[in-house]
Chains A and B, each alone.
Chain A
Amino acid sequence: MKQRDEIVVLTDAVLITCIVQRGSAEAVVEAATEAGAQGATIFYARGTGVRQKHLGVLGITVNAEKEVLYIVAPGDHADHIFERVYVAAKLDTPGMGMIYMMRLEKMATYVPPEVAARFGQYADHHG
């Protein structure tokens, strides 16, 4: 019944992207993990924003080197993770960065076979 060219595609996935200053991603990932995120991808980037310019001389404290976090979360938990990350990254202070999330059409990764089987059987049963 299970064929070789069959893959499990997950729906209801949400991508949360958070941009913070270089060096603060660790704390943010920790908060996201606590909130239920199963993983995070961090990459380095450079960028400045309007808040940084408006800060005037204080703007020098904002590092143009950034870390970008990708967190893919299940749609039900995404809002929760979003808020926890917002608080952990202190995004209510100007210059600290930003966060956004978007629905993903689908994603695929390793899904434990027994989990896949359970949901597969379930679908068969009702379908």
Chain B
Amino acid sequence: MSPPHAKHSGNPERPAPRLRYGEFLSAVRVKQNRMSYNQVYAEATRNARAPRLRLIDLHRLLTPYVSVRFLDQVRAVVPLALFLALFQIAALRVSVSEGDEIAFGMLAVMLGLMLFMDGVKYGLMPFSENIGFKLPDRSPTTVVLAFAFLLGAIATFAEPAIGALRAAGAGLDPARTPWLHLLLTRYPGRLVFAVAAGVGAAVVVGMLRFIFAWRMKTLVIAVLVPCLAASVYAGLDPRLAPILGLAWDCGAITTGPVTVPLVLALGIGVAAAAGEQDNPLSGFGIVTLASLFPAMAVILVAIGLVSEVPDPAALPAIAGAGAIVPWWDETPVAEMIAAVRAIAPLVLLLWLAQRFLLGEKLAQRQFIAYGVVVAVLGMTLFNVGLTVGLIPLGDQAGKVVPSAFHAAGGGVPLYPYPFGVALTLLFAATIGYGATVAEPALNAMGVTVENLTDGAFPRKLLIQSVAAGVALGTALGVAKIIFQWPMLPLLLGAYAVALALTVLSLEEYVSLAWDSAGVTTGPVTVPLVLALGLGLSQAVGAAEGFGILAMASAGPIVSVLAVGLWIRRGSRGET
């Protein structure tokens, strides 16, 4: 048995027979059954069927897959929710009411987002990538642009955060902000259509930028100036002024986890077909446009509405208005229908384009079916969680926070006025900061940026500067509601600074800074902050509670541009 050379390996002074370690091991180890792959192969191809799975196999397959995705959402949701609850308990000495219901809602939000993101990845992305790669080659530019417009518009309906917007009109006082109330309650369809059209237009302009390789700087200035002009026009009209906050908030809402990847996939295909080199920076820019155009579209719709309905108070009451249940009291069925209505058009559009523009079928159809089903399921769960968990939590916090400085309900304020206000602003800044740091999209962007700038703009610096900008913006937005400042000067001020810095900055920092505005407002932050603002406005008696998101997206533009300029000055000093 033992190979001949084994005899020589011993010490010559002790010629005792020795057992080779390898032979010892072969005696104690598992038995290996040898089998010819040829036979197995012949058997497997003759009757190919699904392998029989044991329970342990299911566990091994599913557990890592699910836990990674679930933990991603936990990391984004739990710290924020805990902070809100703890702030209420510790600083304001109020316990969270309906805590178990909110906890259930948060769980639904996390599960729903997990499923939804997975569904988008498997159900929609393969379509979009395939179309993005092939359509620009096979169809004339006009068809591509038309498809881009439809994709942007319809993807907006599928954004999880848009549901929060539809629901936001309930707490408004129709006497003080008649047209805003009108827009949100009677014509929410128009509002959503305006936003969708705005995103569609933004996507078309983004595609044109890919084709003609326009500079981001020029584009930002060319788009921002008309937007600001429309805002000034609306802001000077007392009937339209309250709509500004909502209009600019809409921009932040639309750039979520559905629109951005879908549109980017198309954009990369268009850029490749236009013969542009594979420029890693070309991905940036669309997000910016998608947050500016909807603002303008909403303002335009509002202008049309004001001229169409001169006196909202004279309108007859909406039929059955008294019988309408509060929007958070709906059954899960209603949320399911909403989810189907949000996702079905998108799937239909992508499928039609795939079938008739490209004329081919997709491989792996079962994955796509799985993706669509899971996306609908996830969105249903998310919507339930939104109405049961996220919005009540934000609303509660918004209503309770002013008690720090405001004598609500005949009581005494908890803290002296300046301290209470400072505490509230600090609270707002912390929410903005915390929500931004937890955003996974920002982390991914930070890695890209670090590579692109050869380490000159480190990932941590980007995250910190964006988070600081969001914190500042959130605090400003909350201050706007507390002191009931008008929206226009704030908007003009923030965007004028942004514009000035844009002119001074390098092209790459411009794309980066303007995109960081859209990246930060994820599907958890948006409903929470929106509800917070509305609750706050009710508690302090402000006319409307929009504008926090708008300021929170303007903040990082300024802060990232400023940091970019500072880095350039520093590096110029060294060389």
Co-complex (A, B): yes
- Using a CB–CB cutoff of 8 Å, the interface residues on chain A facing chain B are 23, 50-51, 54-62, 75-77, 79-80, 83, 90, 93-96, 126
B30 / chain A contacts, CB cutoff of 8 Å: 83
| B61/A58 in contact, CB under 8 A | yes
1/0 per residue B139-183: CB within 8 Å of A?
Answer: 000000000000000000000000000000000000000000000
Q: Tell whether, in the assembled complex, residue A61 and residue B57 are in contact, meaning their CB atoms are under 8 Å apart.
A: no
Report chain A residues within 8 Å CB of B65.
60-61
Say yes or no: is B104 at the interface (Cβ < 8 Å to chain A). Answer: no
Which B positions have Cβ atoms within 8 angstroms of A? 8, 20-22, 25-26, 29-30, 32, 44, 48-51, 53, 56-58, 60-62, 64-65, 118, 122, 366-367, 370
Please pick, from A23, A50, A80, the residue contacting B25 in the complex, using a CB distance under 8 A. A80
Bound-state CA distance A94–B122 (Å) is 21
* Shortest Cβ-Cβ A-B pairs, 9 listed: A76-B22, A61-B65, A93-B57, A94-B51, A61-B61, A93-B60, A57-B370, A80-B25, A54-B50
CB pair B366 A77 closer than 8 Å: no
- In the bound complex, what is the Cα–Cα distance between A83 and B25 (angstroms)? 11
A54 touches B370 (CB 8 A): no
B18 CB, min distance to chain A CBs, angstroms: 13
Query: Which residues of A have CB within 8 Å of B118?
Result: 60
Chain A residue numbers with a CB within 8 Å of B8 are 126
Q: Which residue in chain B gives the minimum CB-CB distance to A78?
A: B22
A61: chain B residues at CB < 8 Å are 61-62, 64-65
On whether the beta carbons of B122 and A79 are closer than 8 Å, the reply is no
B20 touches A55 (CB 8 A): no
Closest to A51 in B: B51
| Given A54-B49, A93-B56; A76-B20 close (CB under 8 Å) | yes
Nearest CB in chain B to that of A24: its residue: B64
Are the C-beta atoms of B44 and A50 separated by less than 8 Å? Answer: yes
Which residue of chain B has the shortest Cβ distance to A86 in the bound complex?
B30
Q: How far is the CA of A58 from the CA of B56 in the complex (A)?
A: 14
Residues of B with C-beta under 8 A to A77 = 21-22, 25
- Write the nearest CB–CB distance from A118 to chain B, whole angstroms: 12
CB-defined contacts of A62 to chain B, threshold 8 Å: 61
Distance between Cα atoms of A55 and B64 in the complex (Å)? 16
Closest to B12 in A: A125
Residues of A within 8 A of B62 (CB): 58, 61
Determine whether the beta carbon of A55 is less than 8 Å from that of B370. Answer: no
A80 B29 Cβ-Cβ under 8 A: yes
Given contacts A76-B20, A94-B51, 18 further A-B contacts (CB under 8 A): A54-B51, A55-B51, A58-B53, A58-B61, A58-B62, A60-B370, A61-B65, A62-B61, A76-B21, A77-B21, A77-B22, A79-B25, A79-B26, A83-B32, A90-B60, A93-B53, A93-B56, A94-B53
A79, B21: Cα distance in complex, Å:
12
Docked-complex contact B366 and A57, CB < 8 angstroms = yes
Query: What are 30 A-B contacts defined by CB distance under 8 Å?
Result: A50-B44, A51-B51, A54-B48, A54-B49, A54-B51, A55-B50, A57-B367, A58-B53, A58-B61, A58-B62, A60-B65, A60-B122, A60-B367, A60-B370, A61-B61, A61-B64, A62-B61, A75-B22, A76-B20, A77-B21, A77-B22, A79-B32, A80-B29, A83-B32, A90-B60, A93-B53, A93-B56, A93-B57, A94-B53, A94-B57
Tell me how far the C-beta of B253 lies from the nearest C-beta in chain A, rounded to whole angstroms: 30
User: In angstroms, how far is the closest chain A Cβ from the Cβ of B25?
Assistant: 5
The CA-CA distance from A90 to B59 in the complex, in Å, is 11
Q: Which residues of A contact B56 (CB under 8 A)?
A: 93
A residues less than 8 Å from B57 (CB atoms): 93-94
B366 A56 Cβ-Cβ under 8 A: yes
Q: Which of A55, A56, A75, A79 contacts B29 (CB 8 A)?
A: A79
Q: How far apart sit A46 and B60, CA to CA, in the bound complex (Å)?
A: 20
CB distance from A28 to the nearest CB of B (A): 14
Query: B50 touching A56 by the CB < 8 A rule?
Result: yes
Give the CA-CA distance A57 to B22 in the complex, in Å: 43
Nearest-CB distance from B166 to chain A (Å)? 32
Chain B residue numbers with a CB within 8 Å of A96 are 60
